[in-house]
Amino acid sequence: MPEQQYREWSEFTPGAWVFGGLAGAGGPQELTGFVESLLSDMKGWLNAAMDGRMPQEMCWSPAPGCNSIGFLLWHILRAEDFWVQGHIQGIPEIYESEGWQRRLGTPPVDNGYQYTMEQVANLRVPPMEMLLEYGIAVRGRTLDFLRQFTVEKLGEILREDLRRLIMEVTLHIGQIAYLRGIQRGLGG
């Protein structure tokens, strides 16, 4: 049996092997469809993890200084708004421009990145219905934005910014699912 050859992670260009291959395959519709499908899957995983959450579960934390489900949900939505509107497009995030910060009652021009234990503990988690409305607004803007690109431009954005967003959101969805398991067990 030939010896297995393993390469160092540093040899890989993140995202290039997936997105680079798709970029030339079927044009912008295929690549946009791939990204939309990925975002839809992420939304499905998040919905499954959030299904049936009670207000007290949204605010529960396993230990002081740990994130709650509510904090993580707020942060996920803020991250998508920040990356797509603020960072990639260079336009005001809808959190500010459409008054979501005021409606949610959360800190202005903030997304929870690098929060201290005190900031995490002091964030008043908005009602889930409000967070979901904000999430619908953010995702609608994300999809509108993605549908306007050529395959080359979309591939460039995927390799850089959307890759980071997708990794961050997926990581936090896993954290929410883990917290749900701690709260309710495997069947919960």
Question: Rounded to whole angstroms, how far apart are CA atoms 147 and 16?
Answer: 20
Evaluate if residue 188 carries a pLDDT over 70: no
In a domain, 1, yes or no: no
Task: Classify residue 65: in a domain, yes or no.
Answer: yes
Asked if residue 97 belongs to a domain, the reply is yes
145 CB-near residues (< 8 Å, 6+ apart): 84, 88, 89
Q: What is the pLDDT of residues 72-127, one digit of tens each?
A: 999 999 999 999 898 888 899 999 999 999 999 998 878 888 888 888 888 888 99
**For residue 86, is it within any domain?**
yes
Residue 161 lies in a domain: yes
Split into its structural domains, the chain has a count of 1
Provide the CATH number for the domain around residue 134: 1.20.120.450
| Domain annotation covers residue 151 | yes
pTM score > 0.75 for this model?
yes
Residue 2 domain flag: no
Terminal-residue alpha carbon distance, the chain: 45
Residue 116 lies in a domain: yes
Q: DSSP code of 116?
A: -
Residue 8 has pLDDT above 80, yes or no: no
Find the mean pLDDT for residues 118-142.
90
What is the domain range of residue 144? 16-184
